[in-house]
Structure 1
Amino acid sequence: MPQVGFLSIITEFAGAVGLGARVTGTIKNGIISIDRFREAANPGVLMLGMGCAEVGSAFWLMFATGKGMPVSTTQTVVGALIGVGFATGAEIKWNWETGSVSQVAASWGIAPFIAAAFSAMIFGVLKYSVLERSDSFKWAMRLIPFYMATTGAVLALFIVIEAPSAPSLEEFGAGKAAGIIIGVFFGCLAIAYIFFVPFFERKLVKQDPRVRIWHIVYGPYLRSDKAHLFWPGKGEQYVINYYEDAHGEVRAGAKDDEKRRNSATQELHGKDTQNGNGPSTPPDSFQNGKENGGVPSDPEAAAALERRALEDPSAVAPLTRKRQSEPYERFIGPVKHLSWANPQKWWGYFKFGLLQGVTRDVITHDSDALRAIHARAKRYDVRVEHLWTYCQVVSAMMMSIAHGSNDVANAVGPWAAVYETYQTGAVATSSPTPVWFLVVAGLLLGLGFWFYGYHIMRALGNKITQMSPTRGFAIELGAAITVLLASRLALPVSTTQCLTGAALGVALMNYDLGAVNWRQLGFIFFSWVLTLPCAGLIAGLLCVMALNTPHF
């Protein structure tokens, strides 16, 4: 989580500063008409209204996020501006025109379906080219370089054509665009074959648990058994079971329970590995179709085991669930008894304040109903899933850049109007968005994820359907493509709605409606319905009270 938070600050910042100016113009000029403020020769009312829109938006977003409601920043800001429009008597642009309320609202309805279609197609190709093959790991090793290269090429293309100073695609030229795609594709393909493939062979084929991500720089040298690995891993495991962690069956740190189960199994078979009698196996090797902790490595067997456990809990040996320690237990618990004069207590509280948002357990759940939903989704080879974690990092970065280009711009749109009016003393029809606005907002959005983002990660994570790296890759890439296309068209679509639609599209690729948590989707949809009127009421009432406050 801390690594994710740090990376999100960088990518949100890049998306906001590099790609966000177009959407800001739509928010600050396209939702309500500013002619009312120009005719009244009272620019102060415009500043007041936009300020109320920002305060109302912030209040609703903080409240909804704290309740785990993944509402849309875009929808919230638009709703707040509509409320301010009613309060000030300004004309609200309901007609179908560029940047109007009708066009923006239509994009909210269309974008989730487009994202669902993109993500379903991406996962469908991945499913039938790799996951559903008889020897999926072999095919994954063959095709992963091409998937990595394709992801990198798409990311590079969108960064180039989405820059505010970039010409239109027609002006840019199909030849240049194709050249960028082909050049980046083959460059990423070469990097994948030279560095990543030897790394995957050493880690997943030879099952060397000492290999870590920084050993990628060895390249072909990793194929040699004589390669000296600097800062090697502890050798406890070479790949995790992503499905196991999702259900909280065996949490990291449950070593005592694992040892007891392993010891009982060894005694049952008359083996004493502690004294060197009998065969000794690596702690995380796959033996007899089972992984460490008694969970079958075969995905079909794992799903069957879980369904059997749900139907008859006594038929399967219980597995102790170990949740990750919460920040209060981890940072404040050990120093709570100390005096305030002790620096260790201050240090513990400081770490709690700084890291409490990125050290939460956002994976484990306690719902039997949700576990049953997850059991209906097909499980795939965890080694294949591990390969796609690297593609998922790139797709997540792409989604974060897209989020920065859209949501940060939406948030600063009203403030940009206030700043321009303050600087000039007049109501301007159009004005450039200062770059430093986007810089500050991009940093603040990253910090918002750092301290508060775990609420939404829980809501949009495993609560909709069974997640895994391959599914996450398809969801993020499909949603990112949708948002970036909308940003190019200056449409402030909702990244939240695009991600939700993309998750639904991938979930439906299970071909089982029972593999989708429709109750959670209903909760999310209900929060969307509430957002527009609630944000509008809060901002509108604030503006009405401010306008009618006694003044001199």
Structure 2
Amino acid sequence: MTSTLTTMTDLITSTAASMTLAEFQSSLLWALIIGALLAFLLGFGMGANDVSNAFGTSVGSKAVGLKTAYCMATVFETLGAVLVGYNVSDTMRKLVVDIDLYKNVPKTLLLGQVAVLAGASAWLFIATFAKLPVSTTHSVVGATLGFSIVMKGFNGIEWPKVGEIAASWVISPALSGLISSVLYVIVDHLVLRRPNPVQAGFRVLPIFYFVCLAFNTFAVSYQGSKILGLASIPLWLAFTLAIIVGLLSALIFHFIARPFLMKWINKDDESSNIPKAYTNDACSDSDVSIELGEHSTNEKQPRPSMDSRIGRGTNKVVPFQSNAKTHEITPEEEKQIQEFKLHPRGFVAWLFPVRDRIEDAKTLKLFGSIQVFTACFAGFAHGANDVSNAVAPLAAIWAIYHDMSVEQKGETPIYVLLFAAIWAIFHDMNVEQKGETPIYVLLFGVFAIVVGLWILGHRVIRTVGEDMSEIHPASGFCIEFGAAVTALCASKVGLPISTTHCLVGSVVSVGTVKSGEGIDWKLFRNVALSWIVTLPVSGVISALIMLLMKLTINMN
């Protein structure tokens, strides 16, 4: 008898739950549709602002064209998010909000996702039209705080994590700027100030290729994506693979790519992306040839004449000419000779490049070749760090959807996560999602980012790559490499930093070291202020939308 009653009770409960699920879906169909549209807008805003600024320095230095940058961003941002973007994708509970507060109120959580989408995407669009590079990660964090404060007050908010994010506004640009500026000083001493910088460049570039490819390979293989089965690769194997790939890239450059690069940097091609200040147009009446063996120019011989200048307060650029007409060193040129001195002031003067220092255009053109790789590296790092970083505030939704647990075990970008979370709650009326993210949802998110990048990406690209500081291929290489290293290391240890902040910090630091006067400080001030207001502005927008829904919609 008891067994029969239990069976009947279970049947009645199941039927009631089914009816409740049907009513739930019917009442929130509008929220699902609006959520899908807002998810597209968030992806669009991410592509227009957060993704595009990763390639700003490459476009600004003319190492790659705008369309080429778009194509590379489309490929390498996706690869970075899939191959590496996992560790910073922690749960919302661990980052800023305790998701357990919403276990019994799935409708509130669903509508909260709508508010988060609206708040984050609205701020991204505002910043993009103002040409300000901001962080999608911090936009989503602020929007999450906004909706949760409206619904649950300050309960469940992890303020120490919020403090870490605020600290990253200083830590990210400072650390990245330090790495990039140190690298630029190394490049300056090993290549740019040498008597034959082109020959020195060919000697040093294989090392840079080795470091760049080896570091990237290690980042991908060690504790890599579970989706691709890379999480179980041991440290020694990842390190060995990195060394092998790095050595192969260095050997390929030295024995295969080197002859082609020799011809390319000697070719007077008007279709080249390098601006005229970097080409032979400054002294086009002479024939230029470059030997990689012993060169006739040495430290005791006079340098070619100088007649071209780039930017505001930045370094002069002249083409290197083996048969150029020489002249006696003038007092102005003599000031640019940097000798090592033991006393502190003399050491500092020797360590850093002098202002308006003569630069060899063909050496910069040579660095343009490796900047193509570092541009891809920067895009890969941005995809690995920022796209997955933005998942952190809401990653618990995906974890519950996939594993019936608040502990996150999967990897998914924010634009997929938000749409998938809304769909999962709508479909199951529960925060304990069990299914996989459909492939069409993934394609939906990728499409949104690509559309945003191609339509509005040029606005922020110009801010980072052209307006803030003058960038040439050698400095651009250092900026991108330093920012990428910082972002990838942060993604490995789970630090919530922004690649946007890293790139801007590197641009300012290298620009200061390179010229001292080549930074638009007013623009940098506006950018820094936009970082500070990202959390509160996106949070206020999200909170207002959530408050409006709370007053007009039954949350039970």
Alignment TM-score, normalising by the size of structure 2: 0.66
Alignment correspondent of 1:525:
528
Percent identity, aligned pairs only?
26
Q: For residue 479 of structure 2, what is the aligned residue in structure 1?
A: 475
Which of 359, 366, 387 is matched with 1:387 structurally?
A: 366
Q: Does 1:545 align with 2:545?
A: no
Q: Partner of 1:61 in structure 2?
A: 124
Instruction: State whether structure 2 residue 6 is matched by structure 1 residue 2.
Output: no
Structure 1 residue 168, shift from structure 2 partner: 13
Contact 1:208 1:238 in 2 (8 A): no
Q: Which residue of 2 aligns with 1:275?
A: none
Alpha-carbon distance change, 489 to 433 in structure 1, aligned in 2, over 3 angstroms: farther
| Structure 1: gaps spanning 5 or more residues | 210-234, 251-257, 263-279, 287-296, 309-374
The structure-2 alpha-carbon separation of the partners of 1:126 and 1:242, relative to structure 1 and needing over 3 Å to count, comes to: farther
- Counterpart AA for 1:59: A
Q: Which aligned pairs between 1:109-508 and structure 2 lie closer than 5 A?
A: 109-161=170-222, 163-165=224-226, 172-204=233-265, 207-209=266-268, 236=270, 240-241=274-275, 243=277, 301-303=307-309, 378=357, 380-409=359-388, 410=390, 411-412=414-415, 413-428=417-432, 438-508=442-512
For the aligned residue pairs, the C-alpha RMSD in angstroms reads 3.6
Write the distance in 1 (CA, Å) between the matches of 2:494 and 2:436: 15
CA distance 1:156–1:455, change in 2 (3 Å): same
Q: 1:306 to 1:400 in 2, by over 3 A?
A: closer
CA distance in 2, matches of 1:526, 1:57: 17
Q: Distance in 2 between matches of 1:462 and 1:112?
A: 18
Match of 1:93 in 2: 157
The one-letter code sitting in structure 2 at the alignment partner of 1:504 is V
Contact 1:136/1:381 (<8 A) preserved: yes
Q: In structure 2, do the counterparts of structure 1 residues 108 and 239 end up closer, same or farther at CA, with 3 Å as the change threshold?
A: closer
- Contact map agreement 2:73 2:376 (CA 8 A) in 1: yes
C-alpha displacement of 1:192 = 0.7
Residues 152 and 188 of structure 1 are in contact (CA less than 8 Å); yes or no, is this contact kept in structure 2? yes
Deviations 1:197-240 (A, max 9, x none): 11122233xx344xxxxxxxxxxxxxxxxxxxxxxxxx557784
How far apart in 1 are the matches of 2:435 and 2:177?
35
Does 1:79 find its partner at 2:83? no
1:15 aligned residue (70, 80, 83): 80
How many angstroms does 1:475 deviate by? 0.9
Contact 1:298 / 1:381 at 8 angstroms: preserved in 2? no
Q: Do structure 1's residue 25 and structure 2's residue 90 form an aligned pair?
A: yes
Equivalent pair of 2:311/2:518 in contact (CA under 8 Å) = no
Cα distance in 2 for partners of 1:120, 1:24 equals 30
Measured at CA, do residues 58 and 547 of structure 1 come closer, stay the same or move farther in structure 2, by a change above 3 Å?
A: same
Query: Judging changes above 3 Å, is the alpha-carbon distance between structure 1 residues 239 and 407 closer, same or farther for their aligned structure 2 residues?
Result: closer
Match of 1:364 in 2: none
SS at match of 1:380: strand
CA–CA distance in structure 1, aligned partners of residues 440 and 311 of structure 2: 55
The total of aligned residue pairs comes to 413
* Cα displacement (A) at 1:136: 1.0
Match of 1:515 in 2: 518
* Structure 2 alignment gaps of length 5 or more: 1-65, 291-302, 315-353, 391-413
Q: How many Å separate the matches in 2 of 1:423 and 1:157?
A: 40
Residues 65 and 456 in structure 1, CA contact (< 8 A), matched pair in contact too:
yes
1:50-75: per-residue Cα shift (whole Å, max 9, x none)? Answer: 11101111111012101111121111
Residues 433 and 122 of structure 1: is their aligned pair in 2 closer, same or farther, counting only changes over 3 Å? farther
Query: Is the partner of 2:359 in helix, strand or coil?
Result: coil
Moved more, 75-84 or 432-441: 432-441
CA contact (8 A) 2:313 2:516 kept: no
| TM-score between both structures, scaled by the size of structure 1 | 0.66
Question: Could you report, residue by residue, the CA deviation over 1:441-465 in whole angstroms, capped at 9, with x for unpaired residues?
Answer: 3443233211111111111112222
Distance 1:459 1:431 in 2: 42
Cα distance change on mapping 1:141 and 1:550 into 2, 3 Å:
closer
Aligned-partner Cα distance in 1 for 2:305–2:367: 16
Q: Which deviations, in whole Å up to 9, do the C-alpha atoms of 1:250-280 show, x marking residues without a partner? A: 9xxxxxxx9xx99xxxxxxxxxxxxxxxxx9
Deviations 1:55-99 (A, max 9, x none): 111111012101111121111111111111111115343343xxx
Q: 1:236 to 1:464 in 2, by over 3 A?
A: closer
| Counterpart-to-counterpart distance in 1, 2:174 and 2:313 | 32
CA distance in 1, matches of 2:90, 2:423: 14
Give the deviation of 1:538 after TM superposition.
0.6
Equivalent of 1:49 in 112, 126, 130: 112
C-alpha displacement of 1:300 = 5.7
Q: What SS does the corresponding residue of 1:107 show, helix, strand or coil? A: helix
> Counterparts of 2:203 and 2:236 in 1: how far apart (Å)?
30
Question: Structure 1 157/378 Cα, relative in aligned 2: closer, same or farther at 3 Å?
Answer: farther
DSSP 3-state at the match of 2:495: coil
Amino acid at match of 1:55: A
Partner SS, residue 491 of structure 1: coil
Instruction: Determine if contact 1:203/1:238 at 8 Å carries over to the other structure.
Output: no
Q: CA deviation at 1:17?
A: 2.6
Q: Give the structure 2 partner of residue 332 of structure 1.
A: none
Does structure 2 conserve the Cα–Cα contact (< 8 Å) formed by 1:243 and 1:468?
no
